[in-house]
Structure 1
Amino acid sequence: MDQPWIEKYRPKTLKDVSSQSTTTKILEKSLNTANLPHMLFYGPPGTGKTSTILAMARQLYGPNLMTSRVLELNASDERGISIVRDRIKNFARLAITNPSKEDLQNYPCPPYKLIILDEADSMTMDAQSALRRTMETYAKVTRFCIICNYVTKIIDPLASRCSKFRFRPLDENSAIERLNFIANSENISINNNLIIDILNVCEGDLRRAVNLLQSVSTILKNNQSIDIKTMFGYLPDSIINNLIDLLKLKNLNKITTFTEKEIIKNGYSASFLLISLHKNLLLNSNLSSIEKNKISQILYKSDSLISIGCNENIQIINCLYNLSKVL
């Protein structure tokens, strides 16, 4: 009962995984033969990559053999070549223990172990190069599942040894269904508009959405209203609309005064301001292609400067001055 909801409601079987039907169908058929290839899971965070392989491992071995047959490593913490040479290689060469009769009756229990490398795109090139030889040498007794966000950061010799599975961001209907299921299980009354606000903030990351739902669950149980976007630092639409109107007037003094009073002093993040400007100016406006092109370059330069540690306040003012010249 005291578990975080992301663990409490983590899928236990492949059928519980949301919005990845193509991948789960292929893996379910592989369960019948219990002859898995090496696998490479890639896609945005929070789309179910780790949950899918853990659910599959549970269906392959059962809870009793999971501890001895499955090794899960987070490569963001352990990414050097020494980990490949020591922990991974030692586990891969271990002999397999015989399963009990009860486990054989209920689970396939194939004669190989499973090594899960999470966030493998943060592994060094040397570690990845050392890993490919280990995969070949111990293929009869060990299978690998490599999980990453960016498949381009996995070296080609390693990627070519694996069957690739792409995990896409969850579609809105599947995410709404899952969040409603969790809310009903926790006796929380929530409307679809609030769920959609949560999903818009989380941008397809279901793990983040479940965490956010747990964060606001106490307020929802007391039937209190809440503005999700304001809670997480997004600028209200009224501020953005007033700011865009000032930019069109090209009055630099008013732009500076408004920015300092309404945005900087209220502690709004420069990154969230750029996101709001991007949505309002590039996605929801009737500007010409040339104007949008110029605006996108201004937003890009400001975002890149903020990301490397430049002063946020100066970059906001500079960005708005440049935008006012275009609008």
Structure 2
Amino acid sequence: MAFFQPNSTSTASKHFVDPENQPWVEKYRPKTIDDVSAQEHTVAVLRKTLVSTNLPHMLFYGPPGTGKTSTILALARQLFGPDNFRNRVLELNASDERGISIVREKIKSFARQTPRAQAVASDGNTYPCPPYKIIILDEADSMTQDAQGALRRIMETYARITRFCLVCNYVTRIIEPLASRCSKFRFTPLDSTSTSSRLSYIASTENIDVTPEVISTLIETSGGDLRRSITYLQSASRLSSSTNPPVPITPHDIQEIAGVVPTAVINDFARTLGVPIAEDMDVDDLPANGKLKGFNAVQKKVKGIMREGYSASQTLSQLHDTIILHPTLPARQKAQCALAFAEADKALCDGADEELWVLEVGLRIHKAVTTS
């Protein structure tokens, strides 16, 4: 939880962090809403609120790492400026402070305070500084039902001097009376172009030499989560610079840091199961070789994967993508494989043995793919 107290010299020095020691996700967090990547519709609407300064209660929802918290923080800084930000904005993480007592104590006491008069900005810029405060409730979908119910009345009572911004991943977990009081903004996973552009900018600023293959691997392993991909890039940079001389960052390094199974391992496993792999399409005898592989070959490959310490669920997830997105496998075979993946997912969630279920899925895929 981040509880912003009124500004002071001691508080400012206490929270000062050398940019060199900052996590890159904080260092490169958008300073203005125009810096927010990919969310054009939301940015366009919020840009108009900067002109009118008439901000409604808002509900930001969407997958992690898509810029929800960054957007409202950037908007608040543009509204209030650096001097008034600390006494006009309260940021709470509802996943930590989610009970009704927090709503009745911290939120209500902050909401009822009348905002101070606008002060002259120390940086020489002019800010709108409207006559209200903003309360940001991050991870609001973790709040209890009672807490959400209590929040409903506070939002109505103090709407003149306090505006709320609820930030969540799952909008269905916000009670309807609360959601209906807010303007909803949906944040979508970042497209590859936006993510690539931002990662390339960070790499250039930090003087890191990254190849397009590394950027592509970062995007693939993060699944549209920009925060995660920036974290992976920083970890890879630290790993690269730890040697003398520094070694270049490779896609394999990114996969190791991300905890995913290397593509070569998944492709090798798929070959053992008889699944044609793109780079092998020119090999005439691959289908025949695939059909020659039986139980012993599959079992040996599964044992090898488990011995390397790879997660069963991660292995099956990547194998699922390889098969379901395969350009030549018939739909019937994909459906049979999907059923095996679904049963394995349920079993692993219930605590079943990982190696046995990877073997089970492997054998069922082998049977579906190699049986004409």
Pairing partner for 1:229 from 234, 252, 255: 255
Q: 1:204 to 1:80 in 2, by over 3 A?
A: same
Cα drift, residue 21 of structure 1:
1.4
Structure 1 residue matching 2:21: 3-state secondary structure: coil
The one-letter code of the counterpart of 2:261 is L
Partner of 1:51 in structure 2?
70
Q: What is the distance in 1 between the residues matched to 2:60 and 2:301?
A: 47
CA RMSD, Structure 1 to Structure 2 (Å): 1.8
Greater mean alpha carbon deviation, residues 139-148 or residues 266-275: 266-275
Q: Residue in 1 aligned with 2:295?
A: 252
Q: Which amino acid aligns with 2:92?
A: L
The equivalent residue for 2:100 is: 81
Q: CA deviation at 1:234?
A: 3.0
Structure 1: distance between partners of 2:109 and 2:66:
31
SS of match in other structure, 2:115 = coil
Contact kept, 8 Å, 2:236 with 2:257, in 1: the verdict is: no
Aligned position for 1:70: 89
Report what 1:205 is aligned to: 225
Unaligned runs of 5+ in 2: 1-19, 275-290
Q: Percent identity?
A: 50
Question: Does 2:329 align with 1:287?
Answer: yes
Specify whether residues 238 and 220 from structure 1 end up closer, same or farther in structure 2 by C-alpha distance, changes over 3 A only.
closer
Look up the match of 1:6: 25
- TM-score, normalising length: structure 2: 0.83
Question: Bigger shift: 121-130 or 245-254?
Answer: 245-254
The answer for unaligned runs of 5 or more in structure 1 is: none
Distance 2:73 2:62 in 1: 16
Q: Which one has more relative contact order, counting CA pairs under 8 Å at least 6 apart?
A: 1
Instruction: Pick one of 182, 188, 194 that aligns with 2:214.
Output: 194
Instruction: Identify if the C-alpha distance between structure 1 residues 11 and 238 changes in structure 2 by more than 3 Å, giving closer, same or farther.
Output: closer
Change (3 A) 1:237 1:109: closer
Alpha-carbon shift at residue 243 of structure 1 (Å):
2.7
2:257 matches 1:215: no
> Following TM superposition, by how much is the alpha carbon of 1:291 offset from its aligned partner in structure 2, in angstroms?
2.1
Distance 1:292 1:68 in 2: 57
Report how far residue 105 of structure 1 moved.
6.8
* 2:142 paired residue among 112, 122, 126: 122
Q: How many residues align?
A: 326
**How many angstroms apart in 1 are the aligned matches of 2:263 and 2:228?**
23
- Answering whether residue 195 of structure 2 is matched by residue 175 of structure 1, we say yes
Higher deviation after alignment, 229-238 or 33-42? 229-238
How big is the shift at 1:220?
Answer: 4.8
Relative to structure 1, the CA distance from residue 242 to residue 175 in structure 2 (aligned partners, 3 Å threshold; closer, same or farther) is: closer
CA contact (8 A) 1:188 1:220 kept: no
Alpha-carbon deviation of 1:258? 2.0
- C-alpha distance 218-102 of structure 1, shift in aligned 2 (>3 A): closer
**Secondary structure, counterpart of 2:273 in structure 1:** helix
Deviation at 1:310, TM superposition (A): 2.6
Q: Distance in 2 between matches of 1:109 and 1:241?
A: 57
Sort the Cα spacing of 1:233 and 1:59 in 2 relative to 1 into closer, same or farther, 3 A: closer
Distance across 1 between alignment mates of 2:204 and 2:135: 35
Counterparts of 1:218 and 1:69 in 2: how far apart (Å)?
A: 37
* Distance in structure 2 (CA, Å) of the matches to 1:183 and 1:13: 21
How far apart, in 2, do the equivalents of 1:224 and 1:122 lie? 41
Return the offset for 1:230. Answer: 4.2
Maintained 8 Å contact 1:80/1:124: yes
For residue 69 of structure 2, give the secondary structure of its aligned residue in structure 1. Answer: helix
